[in-house]
Amino acid sequence: MNKSELVEVVAKEAELSKAAAERVLSAVIGAVVKTVSKGNAVTLVGFGSFKPAKRAARTGKNPKTGAAIKIAATTVPKFSAGATFKAAVAGKKAAKKK
């Protein structure tokens, strides 16, 4: 599913116009990107969490020449699926908390 297909589904489910659904989806994605890029996590209960993760500097290999190259440390986005999402993908019902 691409963004335009997702916009159609959101518009239909939320009974919105496609233009309004696209603005909502863009706003949500923008808010997640902005928050994670500032170093904070975004948690959507049941769906999952987006957070920044640090990747250490390391030595890699140029696949063409085989020469060793240095890969700088960087921060990358990381997504961890929530229990409800994992259960839905696995075809199971999510376990209820006590």
Residue 58, C-beta contacts closer than 8 angstroms, at least 6 positions apart = 70, 71
Higher pLDDT, 97 or 71: 71
pLDDT reading at 18 higher than 80:
yes
Looking at residue 81, its pLDDT comes to: 95
What is the predicted pLDDT for the residue at 92?
Answer: 79
- Say yes or no to pLDDT of 20 above 90: yes
- Answer yes or no: is pLDDT of 95 > 90: no
Query: Considering only CA atoms, which of 40, 27, 28 is closest in space to residue 75?
Result: 40
Residues in the chain, overall count = 98
- Rounded CA-CA distance 43/51 in Å is 8
What is the identity of the amino acid at 44? Answer: L
Confidence at 51, pLDDT banded by 50, 70, 90: very high
